Amino acid sequence: MEKARIGIVGLGSIAQTIHLPILSKFPDVEIVTVCDLDRAKAQYIADKFKVRRYYNNYEKMLIIEQDLDGILICTPTLLHKDMALAALEEKNNILIEKPLARTTKEAEEITAAAKKFHQSLMVGMNNRFRPDAMILKSFITDKALGRIFYSKAGWFKKLNTESAWLTKKTQSGGGVIFDLGIVMLDLAFWMMGYPDVKEITATNYSHHTKDVEDSSVAMLKMKNGSTLTIESSWSFESTSDFFYCDCFGTEGSGSLNPFRIIKRMHGNLVNVAPVNTESPQSLYRKSYENELKHWIGSLRGLHTVISTGDEAVHRMKIVESIYKSAKRGKAVVLQ
């Protein structure tokens, strides 16, 4: 079987440290071209990973590279819509790093274009592909924990100084919610089975930022009676970065970081999770390896993508309601 021919646009830290090293080792993938506004960087990366062609102009790349199987977009969110629409119009399947867009309207435009041109659209939500997350999800799907009635998820991480664009709303769409919150929202929603949201109450803080929030706490009440809380922050004082996702069911509970699945057996609480000896760094890298394998498999026609554009639009609507609740200082009821 021929190799999947890939183009990568946006050669920042995530592309250089994750996507390129992983994809370059896949035997069924050929990285045909890379593109970045910084021509010297594009040339350097092409040489480093033995990529035959490089560009500093996205439109030129699309015109010349007519036989790509997929394009991976890793640019700042500001550029997602225009790049995605151009790639889809040229009949390219695309994987876009989260978030899909700055607004629901932009996300809907991208999703509509993918359907119009019959191309696949996947949004990078790598935490779904963590080995421990997939195991916990299988327990929940099999009803081993009963009915999930409460979940909580959060991510506290210092802002990378190389990612200053994240604090500029016109470029990123929002602050820590767009950087960390939407990731945990997606993970927890996936774990819970996508219940319909009834009401959202949120508070945002801007301790060290002016244009966007640097901390956020949100509570979502679902129509089925379950509840979800999401915390995200660049400014919580902590000695290290930390993320978690906890799910509580009527017959047990599950947690990520540390990984536990608790069931009551013979009157005692027992951790029934498979023994996990992998480091957080290993789980992080495997999440991307699994995500990229899944995307390549979809390009080969082995399966359809998960983490779709439609799902991303749904998350964007919830994110916008979180901002609306924080601004108004009261709950927002979803229709």
For range 87-109, the mean pLDDT: 97
pLDDT band at 152 (very low <50, low <70, confident <90, very high): very high
pTM for this one?
0.95
Gap between the Cα atoms of 66 and 92, Å rounded: 9
Neighbours of 314 (CB within 10 A): 17
Q: 1 pLDDT exceeds 80?
A: no
Residue 247 Cα distances to 137, 149, 188, 272, angstroms:
10, 8, 8, 15
In tens, the pLDDT along 307-334 reads 999 999 999 999 999 999 999 999 999 9
In tens, the pLDDT along 159-209 reads 877 788 999 999 999 999 999 999 999 999 999 999 999 999 999 999 999
Residue 313 Cα distances to 9, 14, 66, 123, 179, angstroms:
22, 23, 29, 10, 16
Q: Which residues pair with 247 in a beta bridge?
A: 151, 254
In tens, the pLDDT along 258-296 reads 999 999 888 899 999 998 788 889 999 999 999 999 999
What pLDDT shows up at residue 63?
A: 96
Pairwise pLDDT comparison (118 vs 164), residue with the higher score:
118
Q: 33 pLDDT exceeds 70?
A: yes
Q: 57 pLDDT exceeds 80?
A: yes
Domains of the chain with bracketed CATH: 4-126 (3.40.50.720), 128-289+314-333 (3.30.360.10)
Question: Is the Cβ–Cβ distance between 158 and 241 less than 8 Å?
Answer: yes
For range 10-19, the mean pLDDT: 96
Q: 141 pLDDT exceeds 90?
A: yes
Question: Is the Cβ–Cβ distance between 331 and 325 less than 8 Å?
Answer: yes
Gap between the Cα atoms of 16 and 48, Å rounded: 10
